[in-house]
Each structure stands twice: as C-alpha cells, then as structure tokens.
Amino acid sequence: MNQPKRYLNIVSEMRDMIREQNILPGDRIPSERELAEKLAVGRSTIREALRSLELLGLIETRRGEGTFLADPRKHRLVELLATFILQDNKTLEDVRETMCIHETAAIQAICASDASKLPVWESLRDRLGGHEFIREDFVRELMVLSGNRLSLKIWFLLKQYGGNPYDGEVMPEERPLLKNILQAIEQQDAETAIRDFKAWSSVLIKGENEQWQ
Amino acid sequence: MNQPKRYLNIVSEMRDMIREQNILPGDRIPSERELAEKLAVGRSTIREALRSLELLGLIETRRGEGTFLADPRKHRLVELLATFILQDNKTLEDVRETMCIHETAAIQAICASDASKLPVWESLRDRLGGHEFIREDFVRELMVLSGNRLSLKIWFLLKQYGGNPYDGEVMPEERPLLKNILQAIEQQDAETAIRDFKAWSSVLIKGENEQWQ
DNA sequence: TTTTGAAAGTGGTCTGACCACTAATCCTTC
DNA sequence: GAAGGATTAGTGGTCAGACCACTTTCAAAA
C-alpha cells in the first residue's frame, strides 16, 4: 500500500505547532535538527517540508540564523502559480470571469441594500472628481461596500493571480462612465450599473490600454 | 554574500525545461537521479525543488513509477487559498452568500450561452423525473455546465466549509420547482430561473429540513 | 501459451559528512 | 575598564551513499 508521504505530515504538524505554541510572524522556529529529533524523522525530510513552506512564502530561512515565520503579506502563492499557469489561456479566462462574477454580485448587493452608506458614497464621488484616482480603488471600494468580506478576499487574490486589469489611473475619458455607474447604483438600478460596469471593464481587458492610456 | 538558493534555481530551470521540451500534463519528467546528474546538483537538492512543486499540485509523484506533470485542474490554487481565506472569518453567512453568488452566476452563464448542450440537458431532466435524485447533484450539474472550472472549484470548497445546504434527496414537493428552473433556463430566461432557484435554495437554508424532509 | 519471479528503475527516507554563514563568547590589547 | 579581534557553537545549504517500498519489464519455467 502506498503510504502517505511524511513530508506532508510534517507540513501539517508544523502548522499545528505554530498554532498551539502561538508563534507569531517574525518569531523563530526550532532548528531543522531539533525538529528532526522531536518529530523522529530524518533532517532531509524536515527540509523537504520546510522548503515547500518557504516556496510558498510561509517561512523565511536565513543561513546561520535560523528559520522564521514569515509576514503573511509576503505569501508567494499567487505569483508562483501565475508563473506556471499563466500560459493556460482557459485558466486566465476563468480567473477574469470569476473576478467579474464577484464584481457584479457586489454591485447587485449594494443596490439591494438600504442606502444608509451615504457618507462613504460621497467620498467616493468626490475622489472621482479629484486627481489621481486609481482604477483599482474604485472597484475595491465597491467590493468593500458589498459587505461580503469573503467575496472581497477572493476577489483580491484573483486580482493578483490574473494580472490586474485595473492597473493604472482613471483617465479623463473614463470619468463620465464611472459617474454613470455611481449614479445608477444610487438609484438602485442594478441592471444599468452592471451593464455600464461591464462595458468599462471589458474595454480595460480587451483594449489593454489602447483606447485609454 | 548570501548566495541565492539552488533549489530555487532548480524550480525555474524545471519550468523552462517543461516549456522548451513541450512536456504536457500527464507526461513523465526525468527521474530525480537523471535531473541531479544533468543539472550537476545533489539528489536531495532536486528533491527539495520537486517537493515544493508537488505541494503546489504542479507535479505528481508516484513511487516506483516516476514524476509527472500534473493536470492543471489539480492545481491546488483554491485549496491553498482556502487555508488562508477561510481560517479566521468563516462566518457562515458570508460563505453561503458567496456560494449563492457563484450559483446564480452559473445560471446566468448557461442562459447566455448557445444551447448546444441539449444531450446533457435531457439527462438532467430525466434524472429529475426518476428516483433518488440528490439535491447537490442538481446544483453541481449547473456549476459544471457553466464551463468555469475555477468557479466550480471555489463553489465546491465553500460547500465543504459552509455546511452543505443541499444535503439529502429531492423531495416530491420540490420537483415542480426544479422543473420550472430547468424550463426557464432552457428558454434562456435567466431572471426567472434565478428567482426560482433562490426561492428553492432559501427554503433549504432557512427551513433546514422543516418544510421538506 | 500462461505463469512466475528476478532484475532494473523509481521515489521515500535516513545518516553522516562537509561548507558558508551568524552570533555569542572569550581573550588580547590598549 | 573598554575596545577590538579571534574563537567557537549553532544554523541552514549541499552532497554522497545507503537502504527500503514499489512498479514495470521481460525472460525463464510450467
């Protein structure tokens, strides 16, 4: 019978250990030799597990010093998978489509909710009028306003994974379109808002900086 | 000076090799010993790189057989993301709402596509008429028909974490409702289909087996 | 022809040995 | 006593070689 691989056990045991001993980002993890002895496996097995976690950016190792729990902001999962998978067009397509699913759902949710968020709303409109308005900020604001934090997180990760289509600054030509979207949302007209949003988004994806710089 | 780690070089060299030699999913990768010799490094270094890729689901290893390039559908993107996303804010409400987002998006996608999937369609309708039709099968079929594999994966995962609301068998009282949904989809009437679907789904969630056993 | 089993090849694991590097310590020197 | 340099213990990085468990292959035996 094919036994489960040990280094995978090590991975989960280490996760448990980190949780139980309340090891925080930046803290030191026991040395490879200690772990090997404690878990009763060879050092090479420990290393296979640690290298896997390191490639994911979950831990950092510094020769001569030790191994440390990494800052969660440094997790590398997304970039890594991207370098291997991005050639698969269907996958990239799926990612963007899934992003769009969450975006339109957010708009729908905002339109369906009672409009008690006016202060936030005004601020968004103001910034749209001002200078230096980043496209991504606009969409992210919508995701936040939807109130579904899980959806927001998924969207955020997909964005990194799929090559951010909302890179760059809002051009003057785009502003009327964005204003229309805001207005439609305020009038709780989800259909129009989504239609306009998709129009804006599809130009960004297809034309990739052709039409608007 | 701290030298760059070799196993990271190996990772990128392997990526290049896979690309240049046009190795396809399912194909065999040279053995660890071959790679070690070809790249002039120790076998353990090769293994650290391979184990990292394996944890990501990019390759599969089978003892006694060899190492193979994995099917892109087995990439662990979603599972790994889940360990980051779902560990803290596992609020049931967000999970279920996000599931619903993907479900309605699937219905929308099916309605928007050309209806060239009639055979699958007929089979679904037949099974709805028969006995022992599991609720989950119905929804999963919709997710599959949408054609977005990433969305399907996310949905599948959420289902596991959120307590499957589609547990159990379709009751006689539910069948007319499901038939309505199918019919609406066939007529590409997304609005009606989604409305009926939400009605069905919300009863399952709220009434949790009150109304229908 | 079918069955068996030995051999070759593969991944999985362990051990022990170096190397390169860091940080703490001790010891000299001022 | 203080400053600076050498020593040393501990760490990760790498390698080589040895088994083990497993799969496939293929030739010999039935």
Q: Do B43 and B96 belong together in one domain? A: no
Do both A101 and A199 map to the same domain? Answer: yes
Kindly state the DSSP code that residue A2 receives in the 8-state scheme. -
The band of B119, judged by pLDDT with boundaries at 50, 70 and 90, is low
Q: Establish whether the CB of B32 is closer than 7 Å to any nucleic acid atom in strand C.
A: yes
Domain count, chain B: 2
B119 with B50, same domain? no
Q: Which CATH number goes with the domain that contains B28? A: 1.10.10.10
Is-contact B58 B75, C-beta < 8 A? Answer: yes
Asked whether residue B109 falls in the same domain as residue B198, the answer is yes
Domain assignment present for B161: yes
A155 and A190 assigned to the same domain: yes
Interface residue of A102, A148, A150, A195 to substitute, partner B, most B CBs within 10 Å: A150
Whether A93 and A197 map to the same domain: the answer is yes
Convert A14-40 to b/e letters by CB count within 10 Å (16 or more is b).
beebbeeeebeeeeebbebeebbeebe
Question: In this predicted model, what pLDDT tens digit does every residue of A13-31 receive, in sequence order?
Answer: 888 888 788 888 899 999 9
Q: What one-letter code names the amino acid at B35? A: L
Residue B213 resides in a domain:
no
Pair A44, A114 in one domain: no
| pLDDT for B200 | 93
Neighbours of B64 (CB within 10 A): 5
Please give residues of chain A from 48 to 67 whose alpha-adjacent beta carbon (CB) lies under 7 Å from any atom of strand C. 48, 62-65
Q: Considering the domain boundaries, does residue A1 fall inside one?
A: no
Protein CA B64 to sugar C1' C7 (Å): 14
Position A211 in a domain: no
The residue range of the domain holding B118 is 77-206
CA distance A194 to A196: 5
Residues A42 and A147 in one domain: no
The answer to whether the Cβ–Cβ distance between A52 and B49 falls below 8 Å is: no
User: Is A101 in contact with B49 (Cβ distance < 8 A)?
Assistant: no
Structure confidence by residue, pLDDT tens digits, B19-51:
888 888 899 999 999 999 999 999 999 999 999
Q: pLDDT digits over B155-194, tens only?
A: 887 887 677 888 888 888 888 889 899 989 988 899 999 9
The residue of chain A with its CA nearest to that of B55 is A52
